């Protein structure tokens, strides 16, 4: 298991942020969790904190957010520094039922997987285990 | 189809129903005229031919008569005298017919008997009478008739001469000198007649050639008209078909767009309905992991918050649907009552307790729709409370009404968190939510805008970030004017 991975939660819903953070902590014992509210804040975070990532970063990305939504973030993510992208895994976390959104997410080259909220810690653990 | 052809057919688009009718009428009239002209021409030509034929019989009769008269003069044989009379009778027949035809009320029996005696075929008689009666005064026929009349006069002279000869021979007064003189006179009469007969048939021949020419021109002309109108009509029909096809395509596109928007709406709405449920599921999972009662209570509070959000959203959807589906019910309403009731409904909303509410009513009775006005006031007031600024020492909400000549103006003003300038143009869009809050469904102001549109009014916003917002609503006093605008708004809206 990749215990040393850092997490970044990108979600505008404060309740969902808290739920995800607490579930990661209680079920997977993940302590190093950052959180931002929009896609643009996430980009800013990557720019500022990109060097502090350490071994790896997992971004849990919501789709529907004001300002810059999940897909707009993914477009802008293209420009992010290769050294950061290399260490980063993006997992989309949403309650969407829109087949267009689901297809766009699962087909996207930067998206490892699409999970439905609340974060399925079991699946996430498996995914990280498979990567390790 | 080539582009040029398409352009050609497009030119025919302006053809109205009336123009098409005119075109069809021209087509029918031209075809009917062509038939009538051809019928009349054929009848005329047939009659002209019959007269030419009659002239030939007339001429033969006269020549035969002259021959028998000369034989009689030479032989004094009575059979030649009889045959002379018989042959001359052919010309008499035509003469009788001509005289009868010249009279207004000429007896048809007499005319036909005359023509028969003139050795004209019975089938031709009707055409001959028709031509004489209808064309008798027209140049070519008038000419021919004049020549015919002159010839009849000469025949009459010839007959008088013959009677004189007959009497002289019968009474034995015949002399050698008479004989020579008479033969020379008969020859001269025959010569005169031959000239007349030739002139007659020349006139008719000319006429028939001219008629042929006219007939060709008329046929050509009418055929052109018929082909032209038919092409015009056909092109207009094709234009019409192409136009309706274009309309159909554009309607299909509209419909596809509407369906697409409806799909989008359903997915957006279902997402917003589902989001609180997924939050709730997460909170329940957390509560299950927790033993600390205080912590669990905190989760319960968050659960309630999620559920309230969902409840709000459902209310918004209901308002949205009502606003869409329920028809306008215009009646006398009290703006004061509606605003007071909306304020009262929100008095116990979270955060309302720290807001000082103030009203100034300078306009009350309006003729409008109470449902739309309620939706309007409820949304604006709940927004003012939802987005109040906790950092401010004193929060306020002012509602003011006044009337202009044409409108009721309602102003809802607060000193809440305000709206950024770049967001102000989007706040009335469906599902638009601003960045700094997590409280909206993105439907409230959209419904407000729709309601105002239905009422034929307008809404504007003045706001400054962190200072507050001011919504200015104008509702027309005379609603009748705005009905069309409402219709229009319905049509242009994809979801209607």
pLDDT digits (tens, 9 = 90+) for A20-65: 999 999 988 888 899 998 899 999 999 888 777 888 899 999 988 8
Q: What percent of chain B has pLDDT over 90?
A: 39
**A119 with B282: Cβ contact below 8 A:** yes
Q: Is A96 on the interface with B (CB under 8 A)?
A: yes
Distance separating alpha carbons of residues A63 and A98, to the nearest angstrom: 11
> What pLDDT is stored for residue B487 in this prediction?
42
Contact A97 B270 (CB under 8 A): yes
d(CA B496, CA B492): 8
B215: left (phi over 0), alpha (psi -120 to 50) or beta: alpha
What is the pLDDT, as a whole number, of residue B494? 39
Are B438 and A12 an interchain contact pair (Cβ–Cβ within 8 Å)? yes
Give yes or no for a contact between B46 and B207, defined as CB atoms under 8 angstroms apart.
no
The verdict on a CB contact (< 8 Å) between A117 and B283 is no
User: What percent of chain B is predicted at pLDDT more than 70?
Assistant: 92
pLDDT given at position B294: 94
- Alpha helix positions (H), B334-478: 335-345, 370-386, 421-424, 444-454
Q: Which of B41-55, B168-182, B291-305 has the lowest mean pLDDT?
A: B168-182
At B3 the pLDDT is 60
Separation of alpha carbons A18 and B472, rounded Å: 38
Q: What is the mean pLDDT of residues B137-147?
A: 86
- Report the pLDDT value the prediction gives residue B489, as an integer from 0 to 100: 42
CATH topology of domain B328-492: Heat Shock Protein 90 (3.30.565)
Q: Could you tell me which chain B residue has the CA closest to the CA of A66?
A: B435
Q: Give the mean pLDDT of B92-100.
A: 91
C-beta pairs of B353-358 under 8 Å, 24+ apart in sequence: B354/B388, B354/B390, B354/B395, B355/B384, B355/B385, B355/B388, B355/B395, B355/B396, B355/B397, B355/B414, B356/B394, B356/B395, B356/B396, B356/B397, B357/B396, B357/B397, B357/B398, B357/B399, B358/B396, B358/B397, B358/B398, B358/B399
Question: Band of the pLDDT at A3, cuts 50, 70, 90?
Answer: low
pLDDT digits (tens, 9 = 90+) for B384-438: 998 899 888 899 999 999 999 999 999 999 999 999 998 898 899 888 877 665 5
Residues of B in contact with A22 (CB under 8 A): 286
Q: Mean pLDDT over residues B363-378, rounded?
A: 91
Report the pLDDT value the prediction gives residue A75, as an integer from 0 to 100: 92
Average pLDDT over residues B97-114: 88
- Say if the Cβ atoms of B281 and A117 lie within 8 Å: yes
B282-288 mean pLDDT: 93
Q: Which residue of A has its CA nearest to B300?
A: A15
Using pLDDT thresholds of 50, 70 and 90, give the confidence band for residue B112: very high
CA distance A74 to A108: 9
**Residues written for chain B:** 496
Q: Which residues contact B467 (CB under 8 A, 6 or more apart)?
A: B415, B418
Question: CA-CA distance, B419 to B422, in Å (whole number)?
Answer: 8
If one counts every other C-beta atom within 10 angstroms of the C-beta of residue B124, the result is 17
The H-assigned helical ranges of A29-118 are 39-49, 70-77, 82-87, 99-107
Interchain CB contact of A95 with B (< 8 Å) = yes
pLDDT grade, residue B54 (50/70/90)?
Answer: very high
Q: Rounded distance, CA B448 to CA B467, Å?
A: 22
For the domain spanning A6-131, the CATH number is: 3.40.50.2300
B293 pLDDT more than 80 = yes
| Candidates B283, B306, B435; nearest CB to A67 | B435
State the angle between helix axes of B139-171 and B17-75 in degrees (0 to 180), rounded to the nearest 10: 20
> What is the per-residue pLDDT across A98-130, written as a single tens digit (0 to 9) for each?
888 889 999 999 999 999 888 998 888 888 876
Distance, in Å, from the CA atom of B309 to the CA atom of B78, rounded to the nearest integer, reads 140
State pLDDT tens for residues A66-103: 778 899 999 999 988 888 888 899 999 988 888 888 89
Q: Which two tokens stand for residue B454?
A: 């239905």
- End-to-end CA, chain A: 6
Distance from CA of B247 to the nearest CA of A (A): 30
In whole angstroms, what is the distance from residue B159 CA to residue B155 CA?
6
The tokens for A78 are 């293209």
Q: Which of B309, B277, B292, B280 is nearest to A18 (CA)?
A: B280
Pair A28, A125: CB distance under 8 Å: yes
* Nearest residue of B to residue A98, measured between CA atoms: B267
Average pLDDT rounded to a whole number, residues B467-478: 92
Instruction: List Cβ neighbours of B412 (8 Å cut-off, separation of 6 or more).
Output: B377, B380, B381, B384, B397, B398, B399, B470, B471, B473
The CA distance from A127 to the nearest CA of chain B, in Å, is 20
Q: Which residues of B touch A25 (CB under 8 A)?
A: none
Bridge partners of A91, per DSSP, are A60, A113
Contact B289 A27 (CB under 8 A): yes
For the stretch B264-276, pLDDT in tens is: 888 888 888 888 8
pLDDT tens for B1-31 read 456 655 555 555 555 677 778 888 888 898 8
pLDDT band at B140 (very low <50, low <70, confident <90, very high): confident
Q: Does the pLDDT value for residue B482 go beyond 90?
A: no
pLDDT of residue A7: 92
Residue B367 tokens read as 């003729």
Secondary structure in 3-state letters for B367-392? EECHHHHHHHHHHHHHHHHHCCCCCC
Both structure tokens of B416: 């809440």
Distances (CA, A) of B235 to B29, B31, B215: 20, 19, 30
Q: Which residue of A has its CA nearest to B266?
A: A98
Beta strand extents in B228-354 (DSSP E only): 331-334
Q: How many whole angstroms separate alpha carbon B445 and alpha carbon B448?
A: 5
Q: Min CA distance, B21 vs chain A (Å)?
A: 53
Between B139 and B333, the more confident residue is B333
Residue B407 pairs in a beta bridge with B476
Residue extents of the structural domains in chain A: 6-131
Task: Give the mean model confidence (pLDDT) for residues B96-119.
Answer: 89
For residue A18, the tally of other CB atoms under 10 A from its CB is 20
Count of residues for chain A?
Answer: 132
Q: Inspect the interface and report whether the beta carbons of B435 and A66 lie closer than 8 Å.
A: yes
Domain locations in chain B as residue ranges? 3-241, 328-492
Predicted confidence (pLDDT) per residue in B223-232, tens digit = 998 898 888 8
Closest chain B residue to A12, measured at CA: B438
pLDDT at B136: 81
First to last CA, chain B: 37
> What residues of B are in the A interface, CB distance below 8 Å?
267-268, 270-271, 274-275, 277-279, 281-283, 285-286, 289, 302, 305-306, 433-435, 438
Residue A42: closest CA among A58, A26, A56: A58
- Of the pLDDT bands very low, low, confident and very high (cuts 50, 70, 90), residue B170 is confident
Task: Give the separation between CA B444 and CA B412, rounded to whole angstroms.
Answer: 15
Instruction: For residue B235, name the pLDDT band (cuts at 50, 70, 90).
Output: confident
User: B471 pLDDT exceeds 90?
Assistant: yes
Tokens of B31: 């075809």
B13 within 8 A of B244, measured Cβ to Cβ: no
| Residue B346: predicted pLDDT | 87
Whether the CB-CB separation of A19 and A118 falls below 8 Å is answered with yes
Contacts of B459 (CB under 8 A, 6+ apart): B428, B448, B449, B452, B471, B472, B473, B474
- The 8-class DSSP code of residue B416 comes to S
Furthest-apart CA pair in chain A: how many Å?
A: 36
Please name the member of B286, B302, B305 whose beta carbon is closest to the beta carbon of A23. B286
Number of A:B CB contacts under 8 A?
66
- C-alpha B222/C-alpha B30 separation (Å) is 6
Of the spans B278-282, B306-310, B317-321, which averages the highest pLDDT?
A: B278-282
């Amino acid at each position: 298991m990749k215990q040393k991975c850092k997490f970044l939660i990108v979600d505008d819903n404060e309740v969902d942020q808290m739920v995800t953070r607490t579930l990661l902590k209680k079920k997977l014992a993940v302590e190093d969790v950052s959180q931002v509210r929009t896609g643009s804040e996430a980009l800013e975070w990557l720019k500022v904190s990109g060097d502090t990532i350490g071994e790896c970063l997992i971004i849990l990305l919501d789709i529907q957010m004001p300002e810059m939504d999940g897909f707009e973030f993914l477009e802008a993510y293209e420009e992010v520094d290769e050294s950061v992208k290399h260490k980063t895994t993006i997992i989309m976390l949403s309650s969407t039922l829109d087949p267009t959104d689901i297809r766009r997410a699962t087909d996207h080259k930067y998206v490892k997987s699409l999970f439905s909220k609340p974060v399925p810690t079991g699946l996430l653990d498996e995914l990280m285990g498979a990567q390790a | 189809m080539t582009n040029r052809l398409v352009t050609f057919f497009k030119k025919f688009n302006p053809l109205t129903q009336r123009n098409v009718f005119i075109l069809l009428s021209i087509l029918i009239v031209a075809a009917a005229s062509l038939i009538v002209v051809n019928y009349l021409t054929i009848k005329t030509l047939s009659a002209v031919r019959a007269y030419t034929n009659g002239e030939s019989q007339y001429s033969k009769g006269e020549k035969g008569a002259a021959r028998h008269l000369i034989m009689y003069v030479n032989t004094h044989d009575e059979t030649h005298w009889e045959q002379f009379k018989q042959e001359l009778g052919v010309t008499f027949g035509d003469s009788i017919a001509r005289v009868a035809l010249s009279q207004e009320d000429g007896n048809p029996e007499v005319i036909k008997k005359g023509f028969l005696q003139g050795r004209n075929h019975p089938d031709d008689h009707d055409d001959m009478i028709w031509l004489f009666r209808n064309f008798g005064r027209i140049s070519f026929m008038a000419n021919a008739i004049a020549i015919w009349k002159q010839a009849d006069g000469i025949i009459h002279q010839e007959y008088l001469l013959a009677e004189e000869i007959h009497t002289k021979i019968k009474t034995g007064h015949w002399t050698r000198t008479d004989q020579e003189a008479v033969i020379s006179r008969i020859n001269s009469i025959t010569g005169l007649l031959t000239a007349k007969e030739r002139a007659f048939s020349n006139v008719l021949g000319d006429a028939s050639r001219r008629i042929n020419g006219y007939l060709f021109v008329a046929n050509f002309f009418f055929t052109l008209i018929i082909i032209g109108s038919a092409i015009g009509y056909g092109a207009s029909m094709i234009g019409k078909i192409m136009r309706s096809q274009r309309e159909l395509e554009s309607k299909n596109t509209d419909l596809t767009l509407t369906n697409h928007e409806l799909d989008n709406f359903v997915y957006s709405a279902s997402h917003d309905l589902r989001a609180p449920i997924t939050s709730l599921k997460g909170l329940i999972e957390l509560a299950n992991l927790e033993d600390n009662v205080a912590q669990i209570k905190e989760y319960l509070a968050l659960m309630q918050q999620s559920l309230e959000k969902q409840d709000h959203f459902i209310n918004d959807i209901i308002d949205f649907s009502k606003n869409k589906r329920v028809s306008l019910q215009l009646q006398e309403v009290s703006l004061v009552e509606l605003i007071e009731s909306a304020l009262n409904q929100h008095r116990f909303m979270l955060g309302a307790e720290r807001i000082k509410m103030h009203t100034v009513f300078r306009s009350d009775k309006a003729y409008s729709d109470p449902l739309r006005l309620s939706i309007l006031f409820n949304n604006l007031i709940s927004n003012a409370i939802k987005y109040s600024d906790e950092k401010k020492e004193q929060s306020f909400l002012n509602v003011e009404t006044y009337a202009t000549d044409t409108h009721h103006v309602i102003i809802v003003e607060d000193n809440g968190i305000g709206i950024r300038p770049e967001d102000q143009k989007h706040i009335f869009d469906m599902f638009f939510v601003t960045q700094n809050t997590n409280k909206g469904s993105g439907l409230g102001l959209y419904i407000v805008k729709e309601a105002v549109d239905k009422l034929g009014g307008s809404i504007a916003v003045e706001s400054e970030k962190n200072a507050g917002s001011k919504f200015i609503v104008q509702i027309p006093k005379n609603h009748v004017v705005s009905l069309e605008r409402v219709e229009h708004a319905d049509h242009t809206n994809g979801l209607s």
